[in-house]
Structure 1
């Protein structure tokens, strides 16, 4: 399984730290050329490799960590997303429900990624928290996952576990997933909740 993070701002870098901590190889890409990202990528760890957007999108699993308004630009970089898993770590705040066609933000984003297995995840924590080691005092920091495709969640949950997180499935995007979506000027109740799950 190969991984890429598209977007190398605070959230993208926080996620890159999570991969580096576990020595899992991940490509990172943004609007900037790879040589502009390379020094920062190297500073995070040897398994973090700066690539062009096109090269990064060859990965099996792509974490979307761009500002919400740029998701279509990423989606348009491939003619179709069959066989890819897209993890949406974006937040649409402060767009109104009307601007999102009345959909949860991830369902709105998913429409652009035709054919992809689409999972909402890693979006509810601030970057500084996401960047820290998720294993604390015998527990694991929780990440919430939601998807309209039940089969898509399992490999993302496996990745979350590999990275040291405790995945919690919330069901479909418009059900439990609404708890981690920003709508208008309100945040879902689980956004910013820094929770831990004790090992059984």
Structure 2
């Protein structure tokens, strides 16, 4: 599978490393241009490359892992994502400094907002509820596998994400739709920052 990364920060890099380790091609992108990603691409190896966000978004599956304030700008650069599975790994931090604040979205969840900016995309919320170090680490432990909560409105898209993340070693758990499940996963929800293992 070719996986396009919108963003190249800590979360995107962690997911990219899992992907290349399991034989998937990754195409990284950021706001500074492909040349700025040359050291990271070299570190990840021959299955990694860099491109513009628009080019990365033509991959088989796309991971959105940018800062919350950047999402509208990134979405505006993308081609049609009709039918594309998009993993939304974002959290609605309006600001991080001097202290974190959460964006007020009214009655919708963060992923519903993201989906509204990516018409036709098959959005699956995942990875946002885990601290970065748990995403980067080997999800297989003596006591079990790291649980990865996910939510989405498209059953086929969720199946794709379940298969991919299971291959990485995670134990994916479907918690429902972007609305109901998304509320559980987003900042302030009962599953946000919850790190548990599933015994096999």
- What's the secondary structure of 2:128's corresponding residue? coil
Which secondary structure state, in structure 1, belongs to the residue aligned with residue 112 of structure 2?
helix
| Alpha-carbon separation, structure 2, partners of 1:40 and 1:28 | 9
- Structure 2, gaps ≥5 residues long: 94-100
The 2-side partners of 1:189 and 1:15 are apart by 23
RMSD of equivalent CA atoms: 1.6
Instruction: Give the superposition deviation at 1:79.
Output: 4.3
**Following the alignment from structure 1 to structure 2, what is the Cα–Cα distance between the partners of residues 27 and 79?**
16
How many residues are paired up?
193
Deviation track 1:58-113 (CA, whole Å, cap 9, x = no partner) reads: 1021000000111122221234221211110000033343xx14211111111000
- The residue number in structure 2 matching 1:104 is 109
Give 3-state SS (helix, strand or coil) of 1:194's partner: coil
Structure 1 residue 171, shift from structure 2 partner: 0.5
Q: Give the Cα separation in 2 of the matches to 1:62 and 1:178.
A: 22
Q: Which moved more, 1:151-160 or 1:20-29?
A: 20-29
8 A Cα contact 1:101 1:108, kept in partner: no
Please point out which of 131, 142, 150 is paired with 1:145: 150
Q: Report the CA distance between 1:47 and its aligned residue.
A: 2.2
In structure 1, the gaps of 5 or more residues are none
3-state SS, counterpart of residue 23 of structure 1: coil
**Residue in 1 that maps onto 2:129:** 124
Q: Residue 111 of structure 1: SS of its match in structure 2? A: helix
Matched, 1:189 2:194: no
